[in-house]
Amino acid sequence: MKLISVNVSQPKEVSYHGKRIKTGIFKEPVSGHTMMRRLNIDGDGQGDPSVHGGVHKAVYVYPIEHYDYWKQELGRDDLTYGKFGENLTVEGMSEDTVHIGDIFRIGEALVEVSQPRVPCFKLGIKMGNPQIVKPFLESKRVGFYVRVLEEGEVGAGDAIERIEVGVGQMTVKEIVHLRHLDTTNTEAAEKAANLPALTPSWRDSFEEIVAKAREGDE
C-alpha cells in the first residue's frame, strides 16, 4: 500500500443554481511532505463544517485504482489526483479490503477508518457533471474518511501499513451497501450499529433501521 498524492484546497465560492456556495472540493496535489493534523491537513479546509470535516471526517481517502474505472465510465482523460475531492490518493486500499476501524500508519501519521464517503451535489460541481452523484454512490467506489489518531507528516510515495484490523471486520463496501442500497438487512445493520469506530451519526442511522424493523415485528 502506498500514498500516491496529497491534495488540499482552501474553500472557495462557486455559482450553483443562481446562488453562491462555498466548497473545499477543488483539491490540488501538493509537493513534498505536509502535516496531517487532528482536524485536517495543513493547507486544507472545508466549505461547510457542519457536514464536512471534524474529528470523524478529518481526511478523505480515495483509491487510485478507481481512476481507470471512471475514465472509462465517463469517457474522460482529465482525471488528475484530487479530482474526486480526496485529500489522499492511495494505492492498494480498496473499499472491499479496508474495514471500519482499521488503523493505518501513513508516513508519520496514524489514522483510523471511520466511515464511507457519501457524495453530495458538490461532487457534481467539481466534475462538471451533476448526474455523477447517484452512479458514484451505487458503484460503491466511494472512498472513505479517517480520523487522525497521531499527527505527523505525510507525502507522496510514503508507505502505508495496516497496524490493526477493525473490530467486527465490516468493510467500507459492506457499510455503504447496507446504509444506502440494502436497508432491509437488519441483522447486518445491528452488527454495524455496534462498530465502535463507526462515526456516531452512521451508528445512529443503523440503530434506527433496527428499531423500525423491531416495531414492524410487534
Q: What is the pLDDT of residues 67-94, one digit of tens each?
A: 999 999 999 999 999 999 999 999 999 9
For the chain, the average pLDDT equals 93
Measured CA distances, 80 to 147, 177, 218 (Å): 25, 27, 53
List, for residues 127-169, the tens digit of each pLDDT value.
888 889 999 999 999 999 999 999 999 999 999 999 999 999 9
Is 80 exceeded by the pLDDT of residue 217?
no
List, for residues 27-74, the tens digit of each pLDDT value.
999 999 999 999 999 999 887 776 678 899 999 999 999 999 999 999
Question: Which residues make beta-bridge pairs with 161?
Answer: 105
Predicted local confidence at residue 64, as pLDDT: 97
Q: Given this structure, which CATH class describes domain 2-166? A: mainly beta
Identity at 172, one-letter amino acid code: V
Length of the chain: 218
Q: Which residues of 39-78 are buried (b: 16+ CB within 10 A; e: fewer)?
A: bbbeebbbbeeeebbbebbbbbbbbbebbeebeeeeeeee
DSSP the chain: -EEEEEEE---EEEEETTEEEEE----EE--SEEEE-SS-BTT---S-TTTS-SGGGSEEEEETHHHHHHHHHHT-S---TTTTS-SEEEES--TTT-BTT-EEEETTEEEEEEEE----HHHHHHHT-GGGHHHHHHHT---EEEEEEE-EEEETT-BEEEEEPPTT--BHHHHHHHHHT-TT-HHHHHHHHT-TTS-HHHHHHHHHHHHHHHHHH-
Q: What is the pTM of this model?
A: 0.93
| pLDDT category of residue 183 using cuts at 50, 70 and 90 | confident
Measured CA distances, 183 to 109, 207, 213 (Å): 35, 11, 10
Domain boundaries along the sequence of the chain: 2-166
List, for residues 91-129, the tens digit of each pLDDT value.
999 999 999 999 999 999 999 999 999 988 888 888 888
